[in-house]
């Protein structure tokens, strides 16, 4: 059962279409990553879902909600570059956010305290002005303010892109924990991050979804696997034999390694290994090299 349905979402600016006919569904508890190069429309989609932009056409619907109710209470949003009231302390800002999200004051205070604990802001830092916080602390505070009212959907715009490796790790871990409690939609251009925590990927190019599915599905679909074989000797002779197999589409020799591409990788593997064992080929290594994420990304997004 989809709890959020985005239907034919289009956002046009004066003469530019930032998002074009984007549709997708969100199941409860899912974590979806929006991937695409800069300018693909990721931020526009997220801002539209968060209610900061009005779609030119198309609809965003939450299950069990009437059309005009304020969906903002179900949503937590962290922009790419969060800006706080720097004259407030971390604690004050969280309480303030909580009250804006209609929590009663005592409840907001309790939530703020437990979240400060959770995101690991030290006791002393909690009462310091936000202007003194480090980048990682600000990002974690940003996530805390986004989840203060326990939203159903957490929207994060490039949550880890601007952080150093340590900060990145902390935020990813936090997201991993939050996945248990809410659905998460986040954008990134770092594929490994998407791979690490998302259940589903949406690949965007120039405002359109060009591919979607789980990591595994996409891997299988875009698998342009290569077989890499190394021989002790006589590599040319074996290359010729392999090239004659019907499944093999191409082969070439680079140094001591034979690179083989095939129309059906499973079958090719079987044939080669059969031949190798029957004819006692002097193999030193046999390796199936899966297409990396980057390859897939380039393939989908570039053309």
| Token pair for 246 | 């019907």
Closer by beta carbon to other proteins, 77 or else 133: 77
Within 13 Å and on the Cβ side, how many CA atoms surround 260?
30
Residue 105 Cβ vs other proteins, minimum distance, rounded to whole Å: 9
List, in order, residues 6 or more apart from 216 with CB less than 8 Å away: none
Residue 53 Cβ vs other proteins, minimum distance, rounded to whole Å: 6
Closer by beta carbon to other proteins, 161 or else 243: 161
Closer by beta carbon to other proteins, 41 or else 142: 142
Residue 150 Cβ vs other proteins, minimum distance, rounded to whole Å: 13
Distance CA 157, CA 77 (A): 8
Grouping H, G, I as helix, E, B as strand and the rest as coil, residue 64 is: coil
**CA angle in degrees (0–180, nearest 5) for 200-266-286:** 105
Given the structure tokens 């570039």, which residue do they identify? 302
Alpha helices, DSSP H only, in the chain? Answer: 42-49, 90-100, 105-118, 135-147, 165-178, 191-197, 215-221, 235-243, 265-279, 293-302
Residue 83 Cβ vs other proteins, minimum distance, rounded to whole Å: 4
Residues at the site binding other proteins, with contacts judged by CB under 8 A: 50-54, 70, 72-73, 75-77, 79, 81-85, 87, 96-97, 99-102, 142, 145, 149
| Token pair for 143 | 């996530």
Closer by beta carbon to other proteins, 162 or else 261: 162
| Token pair for 43 | 């931020």
Residue 148 Cβ vs other proteins, minimum distance, rounded to whole Å: 9
Distance CA 151, CA 173 (A): 19
Closer by beta carbon to other proteins, 187 or else 251: 187
Closer by beta carbon to other proteins, 100 or else 253: 100
Query: What do you get for the CA distance between the two ends of the chain, in Å?
Result: 34
Residue 242 Cβ vs other proteins, minimum distance, rounded to whole Å: 58
| Token pair for 103 | 């929590």
Distance CA 201, CA 33 (A): 5
Residue 248 Cβ vs other proteins, minimum distance, rounded to whole Å: 55
Grouping H, G, I as helix, E, B as strand and the rest as coil, residue 199 is: coil
Closer by beta carbon to other proteins, 18 or else 175: 18
């Amino acid at each position: 059962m989809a709890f959020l349905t985005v239907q034919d979402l289009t956002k046009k600016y004066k003469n530019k279409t930032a998002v074009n006919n984007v549709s997708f569904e969100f199941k409860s508890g899912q974590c979806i990553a929006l991937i695409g190069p800069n300018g693909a429309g990721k931020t526009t989609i997220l801002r539209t879902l968060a209610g900061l932009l009005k779609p030119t056409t198309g609809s965003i619907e939450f299950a069990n909600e009437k059309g005009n109710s304020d969906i903002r209470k179900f949503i937590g949003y962290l922009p790419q570059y969060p800006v706080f009231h720097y004259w407030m302390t971390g604690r004050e800002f969280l309480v303030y956010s909580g009250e804006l999200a209609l929590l009663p004051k005592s409840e907001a205070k309790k939530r703020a305290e437990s979240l400060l604990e959770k995101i690991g802001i030290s006791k002393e830092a909690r009462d310091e002005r936000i202007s003194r916080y480090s980048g990682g602390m600000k990002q974690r505070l940003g996530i805390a303010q986004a989840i203060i009212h326990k939203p159903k959907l957490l929207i994060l715009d490039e949550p880890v892109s601007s952080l150093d490796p340590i900060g990145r790790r902390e935020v990813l871990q936090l997201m991993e924990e939050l996945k248990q409690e809410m659905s998460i939609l986040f954008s990134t251009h770092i594929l490994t991050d998407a791979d690490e925590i998302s259940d589903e990927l949406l690949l965007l190019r120039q405002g359109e979804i060009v591919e979607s599915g789980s990591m595994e599905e996409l891997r299988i679909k875009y698998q342009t696997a290569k077989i890499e074989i190394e021989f002790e000797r006589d590599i040319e002779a074996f290359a010729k034999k392999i090239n004659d197999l019907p499944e093999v589409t191409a082969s070439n020799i680079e140094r001591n390694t034979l690179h083989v591409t095939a129309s059906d990788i499973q079958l090719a593997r079987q044939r080669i290994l059969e031949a190798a064992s029957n004819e006692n080929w002097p193999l030193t290594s046999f390796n199936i090299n899966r297409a990396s994420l980057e390859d897939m990304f380039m393939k989908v997004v570039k053309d």
